[in-house]
Structure 1
Amino acid sequence: MAKEAPPQSVMERNACVSTSHRPAVKETTFREWVVDNQIGISLTILSMLLAVHHLYPSLRPYTTPFFQLSYYQSSQGVYVQGWDDIYFVASSAIAFTAIRAIAIDWVLRPLAIHAGLKRKASIRLAEQGWMWLYYAFFWTFGMYIWSNSNHWMDFGAIWDEWPARGVSGSLKWYLLAQLSFWLQQIFVINVEERRKDHYQMFTHHIITSTLLTSAYIYGFYNVSNVVLCLMDIVDLMLPTAKILKYFGYELACNVAFGVFMVTWLITRHIFYPQLCWSIFKNVPTRMSYGCYSGTTAEMISPDGYPDQLTHLFYPFLNIDGPICMNRTIKWIFLSLLLSLQALSIVWFAMVIRVAVGVLRTGNAEDTRSDDEDEEVEPRLSSKDGPIGSASNTDGTNPEWRRSNGSSTGRPRARGRVRLGEQSDRKALLGRIGCDKPT
């Protein structure tokens, strides 16, 4: 007869049960930890800077640039550029990280849940709500600055004040805050969950930040203000349509989407090309080629090419040093602006193609809000549309089906969808249009 096994102790039984039924716990990565603690990290950094600023008066010359604009010229009543502007941009980017997370987690998402939206829909609406708040403020503020300038609706007059480097406090704050926002977006798309269009968006944010930085250092304040105003209005209209969509106002959403398309056409493909043409045509006549003094703005040499390459970096190396203007510099800035126009044309063609397809075949329906799995908590992610794009994404692409109810069978991947397949066009419609919620 077989020998009976000795009875197991209580500890052995508990160990057996715990190892056989306990689910594996996924280890939190550093990236996920940063995403989950954006508010705490940002507020801690800002609080430490404020504490040092107030507790140690001897260090205030080093901490003040983090909290206020630098290089005020009291004799002229204007500001100029300088290396300390980097500290203001850095602190503003940190502040944007905290404000965005607070707005989404503590304000907009609770409001969406209170309005009856499910979890994932509430996250997407909160992301779009944050974009609406940002662009509503900065587009309004930018338009206020532009409408009170001497170049209001006169692109040729944009170049009259150059190469004077003095700028008003409101315009300097506006430009540095916008730059810090785009730098913060580079952080967002790299720290939060990546999507299929990650490298597209990353490249675009790098170009946009480079363009804003270079234009600021070269003293092209006015054209930066005009470009941002022309671009930001489109990125304001898109979240408006999407918010109406999530709340179920289909007719209002359709109207808002139509206004969005008309606004895009007028601002990005009529006014914006006129601005680019002004750079090509008016810059040589309004800006005499040559090198100018960084302090007096007077021409010191009619030769705009004092050397082969170094003169391009004069304004970066010494704010009081010479600043030159020539055909090469003009085409560098114009090429960057035209690259944004090329991207806008591609994206607008996609929008038109989707709209035409909807008119021919009918609306695609989004079953995401009611039927998707609620088991996995999606990570908050706001891949905000760039200065030249209205592709503000709002989370994972939904599982799509035709209006007759037939399911496609599987959810689509994240990121900007391609236009090649009919299902891709429907997915794109769900991210930019006003499809009927099931």
Structure 2
Amino acid sequence: MTTEVSSPPPSQSVSDLNACVSSTAGHHRPPVKETTFREWVVDNQIGIALTVLSMLLAVHHLYPSLRPYTSPFFELSYYQPAQGVYVQGWDDIYFVASSAIAFTAIRAITIDWILRPLAQRVGLKRKASVRFAEQGWLWLYYGFFWTFGMYIWSSSSYWMDFRAIFTEWPARGVSGTMKWYLLVQLSFWVQQIFVVNLEERRKDYYQMFIHHILTSALLSSAYIYGFYNVSNVVLCLMDIVDLLLPTAKILKYFKFESTCTVAFAVFMVVWLISRHILYPQLCWSIYKHISIDMAYGCYSGATGEEIAVDGYPDNLTYLFSPFLNIEGPICMNDTVKWIFLSFLLALQALSIIWFTMIVRVAAVVLRTGNAEDTRSDDEDEEVRTGKEGPNGNTIASESSNNAEWRRSNGSTVRPRGRGRVRLGEQSDRKALLGRIGCDKPT
């Protein structure tokens, strides 16, 4: 007996059949989240940076005729053999750009390939290992550049003498060591602007973004105007704090609570001395003595000889002259002083805001004995962030699925539990303590 297979009615479309075949009772495949451009850059920053640098190196070595155009990416430009010094110029931008790209690769390699595996090998959980790797990178960077900057400062003629900082101006020549130090530091802060906008935003995003912009503008302007010495002093006073803070955090992640407390206390004392005693003294010296130690007027960018006394007071074009022509006039007057001093005071204002927050957190700890939330990071980490699958993919936990179901159904009811207590202001203090103190990360 022959059995006939009935064909679907003509009115039923192919898409309807596909829907019937692909769907199963009670099971709906969650939509696949598309990768954003920012996430793609974060995941591929090592490859992107190394590819760009490799292409530049290949062109540099394979095409000798193009080396005048590629050399500024890898070498310091504008060497003056007669004087044995370097001067500034537009090609310095290429060196800063290539250094920023190199920092992107070095940072990602150090964090992803060295520090995170090291942290996981010694038993840190996934979130703690990420934070340790970020702080470890900062510790390595500031440990090297603060030491290098202190070497330059301690062997200079202006060591612990703020008035001697400007005695050599308007000489525009600079040693190769100082030029490399300033340009690499500038490239780091330019790269930090990229990092703070690329990664997940934190509560202090706007403060950090403004800080990075101000620091980059200050370093670049001081470099163009030949204020090399003051840049060296400012960086040394700032970098020591940025070295001690990661030290305290690293001790926290490895649960050296007593040592972390000591390191945090040292960090606060050094912050107070370097940023709110020595740094204001530097600003006061600039305000009080710069007109005495630096004769106001305009000087030749090529010879350093005085060419005018009034400083072109009738217009503002002279302010940009050093940026446009290295051999053009470079001027000093009250306008230049206050522009430069305003950048320094803006950084001091940000430091005061941050130090006030740090002192308030420390006061809470001293008063209460514990600013720690009752929640346990060890118990709640998988619930809040999801479990990691065998292939390294993140699998959403049951709690996150329930939350997604409530949002899709318009429900505002939240289940009660120790992981979802509203803490209000205490939560903000807790988050700050986790960023700067010796408490567990929240």
Same fold flag (TM > 0.5): yes
Q: Please state if 1:271 is matched with 2:278.
A: yes
Distance 2:304 2:378 in 1: 59
Distance 1:426 1:21 in 2: 39
Q: CA deviation at 1:109?
A: 0.2
Distance 1:143 1:369 in 2: 41
- Given that residues 189 and 198 in structure 1 are in contact (C-alpha distance below 8 angstroms), is that contact kept between their aligned partners in structure 2? yes
Which one-letter code corresponds to 1:432 in the other structure? I
1:359 to 1:27, Cα distance in 2 relative to 1, 3 A: same
- Given that residues 260 and 438 in structure 2 are in contact (C-alpha distance below 8 angstroms), is that contact kept between their aligned partners in structure 1? yes
Quote the residue 1:132 is aligned against: 139
Q: Once the two structures are aligned, what percentage of the paired residues are identical? A: 75
Q: Please state if 1:259 is matched with 2:270.
A: no
Quote the residue 1:31 is aligned against: 38
Q: CA deviation at 1:353?
A: 1.3
TM-score, normalisation: structure 1: 0.86
- Given that residues 434 and 441 in structure 2 are in contact (C-alpha distance below 8 angstroms), is that contact kept between their aligned partners in structure 1? no
Which one-letter code corresponds to 2:380 in the other structure? D
Q: CA deviation at 1:38?
A: 0.4
Match of 1:241 among 234, 238, 248: 248
Q: Please state if 1:372 is matched with 2:381.
A: yes
TM-score, normalisation: structure 2: 0.86
Aligned CA-pair RMSD: 2.4
Q: Please state if 1:149 is matched with 2:153.
A: no
Quote the residue 1:422 is aligned against: 426
Which one-letter code corresponds to 1:149 in the other structure? S
1:19 to 1:178, Cα distance in 2 relative to 1, 3 A: farther
Quote the residue 1:401 is aligned against: none
Q: Which structure would you say has the larger RCO, counting Cα contacts within 8 Å and 6 or more residues apart?
A: 1
Distance 1:12 1:322 in 2: 75
**Bigger CA radius of gyration:** 2
Distance 2:224 2:18 in 1: 70
- Given that residues 434 and 440 in structure 2 are in contact (C-alpha distance below 8 angstroms), is that contact kept between their aligned partners in structure 1? no
Match of 1:297 among 301, 304, 310: 304
Q: Please state if 1:340 is matched with 2:351.
A: no
Q: CA deviation at 1:132?
A: 0.5
Secondary structure, in 3 states, of the residue corresponding to 1:372? helix
Deviates more, 1:333-342 or 1:20-29: 20-29
Secondary structure, in 3 states, of the residue corresponding to 1:324? strand
Distance 1:157 1:431 in 2: 38
Distance 2:190 2:422 in 1: 32
- Given that residues 163 and 297 in structure 1 are in contact (C-alpha distance below 8 angstroms), is that contact kept between their aligned partners in structure 2? yes
Deviations 1:281-311 (A, max 9, x none): 1110110000001011111111123531101
Match of 1:41 among 34, 48, 60: 48
Alignment gaps of 5+ in structure 2: 9-16, 389-416
Quote the residue 1:224 is aligned against: 231
Distance 1:168 1:369 in 2: 52
1:28 to 1:437, Cα distance in 2 relative to 1, 3 A: closer
1:56 to 1:17, Cα distance in 2 relative to 1, 3 A: farther
Which one-letter code corresponds to 2:214 in the other structure? I
Deviates more, 1:368-377 or 1:306-315: 368-377
Alignment gaps of 5+ in structure 1: 378-405, 413-419
Which one-letter code corresponds to 1:409 in the other structure? R
1:212 to 1:360, Cα distance in 2 relative to 1, 3 A: same
Distance 1:437 1:68 in 2: 42
Q: CA deviation at 1:372?
A: 1.1
Quote the residue 1:65 is aligned against: 72
* Residue correspondence of structure 1 range 36-435 to structure 2 within 5 A: 36-365=43-372, 367-373=376-382, 374-375=385-386, 407=418, 409-410=420-421, 421-435=425-439
1:63 to 1:370, Cα distance in 2 relative to 1, 3 A: farther
Quote the residue 1:385 is aligned against: none
- Given that residues 363 and 436 in structure 1 are in contact (C-alpha distance below 8 angstroms), is that contact kept between their aligned partners in structure 2? no
1:353 to 1:255, Cα distance in 2 relative to 1, 3 A: same
Q: CA deviation at 1:370?
A: 4.7
1:410 to 1:131, Cα distance in 2 relative to 1, 3 A: farther
Distance 2:236 2:268 in 1: 16
Secondary structure, in 3 states, of the residue corresponding to 2:23? helix
Distance 1:274 1:169 in 2: 29
Secondary structure, in 3 states, of the residue corresponding to 1:76? coil
Distance 1:369 1:344 in 2: 33
Distance 2:295 2:359 in 1: 42
- Given that residues 369 and 437 in structure 1 are in contact (C-alpha distance below 8 angstroms), is that contact kept between their aligned partners in structure 2? no
- Given that residues 120 and 369 in structure 1 are in contact (C-alpha distance below 8 angstroms), is that contact kept between their aligned partners in structure 2? no
- Given that residues 118 and 370 in structure 1 are in contact (C-alpha distance below 8 angstroms), is that contact kept between their aligned partners in structure 2? no
- Given that residues 121 and 369 in structure 1 are in contact (C-alpha distance below 8 angstroms), is that contact kept between their aligned partners in structure 2? no
Deviations 1:23-50 (A, max 9, x none): 2110111111001000000000000000
- Given that residues 364 and 436 in structure 1 are in contact (C-alpha distance below 8 angstroms), is that contact kept between their aligned partners in structure 2? no
